[in-house]
Every structure is written in structure tokens, then in C-alpha cells.
Amino acid sequence: MTFGYIRVSTDKQTVENQRFEIKKYANKEKIIINSWIDETISGTISPSKRNLGKLLNRVQKGDIIICSELSRLGRNMFMIMSILNNLMERGVMIYTVKEGYKLGEDLTSKVLAFAFSISAEIERTLLSQRTTEALKRKKNEGITLGRPKGRKNTKYKLTGKEELIKQMLDEGFPKSYIYKHLNVSSATFYSFIKKNNLDFHS
């Protein structure tokens, strides 16, 4: 399927300019747009709290997302790179009208995907380091970490990673990306975030 994605920051802006640009581009490329997703919201908001998040969870390999420009996906480079990297890893193509990108089809896409993956890995490492430092501070302050003794822990793989998961959700990582990165099943991940009240990003 092909999706047209439109985002404006305020209700004073019209979505019709972007819709016109995308339609014109689609006609030129002989592409039929099957569904439109539009929203009026700041690009600084996490994708999981936007209609974009629903779109990211919906698309499948071979699908195409067309937007007027990459800045419609987010307001900072890391958020945009994270989204693009996730989509290209899943075989979803992203076309932009103004820049003329067709990410996911050519060598340039592979180079960009490599750069995106490195940037994402650096950020994940920094997140992990910040979480580790925070846990050390809590331990030094005498705060008991982990589960109470004697309590059965069925989610031991994710215990202690609450802060990392929360930060990744806040920064717009799709949930499917997070549980794959943490090497756990989707059932384990969703059960864990629900049990620990981390499911407010849904």
C-alpha cells in the first residue's frame, strides 16, 4: 500500500498545500495513494503519541510512505533517523517530494541506512550509560534495586531496564524496535511495560 503522510504544527496551517504537493508528485510518478494520514501536532512530540506512530505500526514490507519533506516526520535529526532506519530495516520505502528521496530502493538508501544505524547505536549506548549511572547513584544513596527477595520474577530479562525502556519510548522508538533490541519476545515486553506502568505511550 501507499500512504500519504501530512503533518502541520498548528491549526492555522493548512494540510491542503502538502496534500496538493503529494498528489502532484504521485501523479507524476504514476503512484496511487491508498490512504491518507494527516495530523496537526508539533514534530517534537514522540511519534508514539502521534498518528504517525499508528502508521509506523501498520506499514509492512513493500509499502510506501510519501511526505512533502523529511521534516514532516520529526523536528530533530535523531528522531527522523530513528524512524527512517526502522522503516528501511522493515523494507518500507519513504518518498519525499521536496528532497526527491526514494529511500529504500537504491545504494544511497543503503548508505543512509548504515549511517542511521550507527547513529541509533550511539544513542542507545548513551541511553544505556545514562541509565547505568542513574542506577549507580540510587545504589549509592541506599535505594534497593530490583525485586524483593522471595518474589517470583517472571520478567527477569527486563528487570532493571525500566529507565532505558522509558527513555526509548519517550524518544520515539517504536515498541517493536525496542523489544527486538532487548532480545525479548513481544509478549514478554508488553507484559513487562504494562506491569511496570510504562504503557502510557500506547
Give Cα separations from 147 to 110, 132, 156 (angstroms): 43, 17, 9
Q: How many CA atoms lie within 13 A of 167 on its CB side?
A: 15
Pairing of strands 102-103, 93-96: antiparallel
* Three-class secondary structure of residue 194 per DSSP: helix
Q: Label residue 57 by pLDDT band (50, 70, 90).
A: very high
Give CATH for domain 2-106: 3.40.50.1390
**Residue 179 corresponds to which cell in the numbers above?**
523489544
Q: Which residue has the higher pLDDT, 166 or 107?
A: 166
pLDDT higher than 60, residue 153: no
Contact 176, 197 (CB under 8 A): no
> Phi and psi for 75 in degrees, rounded to 5?
-100, -10
Contact 96, 67 (CB under 8 A): yes
67-123: pLDDT as tens digits: 998 889 887 777 887 788 788 888 899 999 988 888 886 666 667 766 766 665 666
Identify the pLDDT of residue 116: 63
Q: Answer left, alpha or beta for residue 197, where phi above 0 means left and psi between -120 and 50 means alpha.
A: left
Domain borders along the chain are: 2-106, 113-201
Identify the pLDDT of residue 155: 43
pLDDT higher than 80, residue 167: no
